[in-house]
Amino acid sequence: MIYRVKHVTSYAYSVPVSTSHHDLHVLLRGSAEQRIRAERLTVTPAPALRRDRFDWFGNRATHLAIHERHSDLTVTAEAEIELLPPPAPIDGGAPWEATRDWVRAANDAEARAAVEMVLPSPHVELSAIALEFARSSFAPGRPLIEAARDLTRRLHSELTYDPEATDTSTSVDEVLRGRRGVCQDFAHAQIACLRALGLPARYVSGYLVTAPPGGGTRLVGADASHAWLSLRLPGSGWLDLDPTNDVIPSDRHIVIAYGRDFGDVTPMRGVLLGGGRHQLNVSVDVSPVDLSPANPVEFS
């Protein structure tokens, strides 16, 4: 499938800003399953400095410095991408304890790299509540993928999607007690459950397809940035899991970035001089591309 993504972030300030610096995670990751055909990042007003780099986790990060006095700021990220379904995991039938013990032993480079995704992070602290929730899915000797999918289903069924219930500072314990939240909270909750068992899990930021082709089921989280998680499988890479929708992401999930939690992959953060109060507006559109000759790529 080929999709076109447009993500617009705009700020309106009550007092003009004289200078500002911003860090962005809005450029998509490329991979064997996600090929970037074209992209463009537009910033108004134009920055005095733009620096692109790869962060610690291999994500594409952008730093902007704006020295022009301004009352509005708009960042528009556009891309055309080709998605292929990820390969099916070749492992995960072993008991879940085998993965826990593999990470603990750290006898090879893959295991040592996975350790970082078992440790607590600012938005996913070690949680006794998460551990208790996870135990119902992870009975002794249960196959890893079977147990992880059961945990995904339980979070989907027992938590209610509620955009008004939480904010970016809400803890995992609060989410699991209140049983409400948004996709970020669903992802953090499952990551906390897995890490409490000693299993490596990472946070994934991205998008969902706005209009599914062929009239397919519309997923929760379309028309906005979305979040899910990945579980490390020894020798088989990462298995994506979306507890908000109870699915294994395929060719309708578009990856922006990976990290320990939301804080590592915040789409846009910054420091500014001036500004007063501000109003933030975000819009996301993801739609299939018409590949006819009359509809060429409009940016480069």
Which one is the CATH code of 96-264: 3.20.20.140, 3.30.1330.90, 3.10.620.30, 3.90.1010.10?
Answer: 3.10.620.30
Can the peptide bond before residue 16 be classed as cis, meaning omega within 30 degrees of 0?
no
CATH topology of domain 2-84+265-288: Immunoglobulin-like (2.60.40)
Please give the pLDDT value at position 118. Answer: 97
* Tens digit of each residue's pLDDT (9 = 90 or more) over 208-219: 885 555 555 555
Indicate the SS3 state at residue 221: coil
Domain positions in the chain are: 2-84+265-288, 96-264
Q: What does pLDDT average to over the chain?
A: 91
Please give the pLDDT value at position 184. Answer: 96
Please check whether residue 63 is in contact with residue 96, taking contact to mean a CB–CB distance below 8 angstroms: no
Query: Along the chain (300 residues), what's the average pLDDT of each consecutive run of 10 residues?
Result: 93 96 97 95 97 97 97 97 81 88 94 96 96 97 96 98 91 96 97 98 91 54 79 92 93 94 96 92 87 55
End-to-end CA distance of the chain: 20
The packing angle between helices 144-158 and 183-196, to 10°, is: 140
Please give the pLDDT value at position 209. Answer: 83
* Tens digit of each residue's pLDDT (9 = 90 or more) over 121-140: 999 999 999 999 999 999 99
The packing angle between helices 144-158 and 96-105, to 10°, is: 110
Question: What are the backbone dihedrals phi and psi of residue 147, each rounded to the nearest 5 degrees, phi first?
Answer: -70, -40
The Cα 78–Cα 6 span in angstroms is: 5
Please give the pLDDT value at position 129. Answer: 97
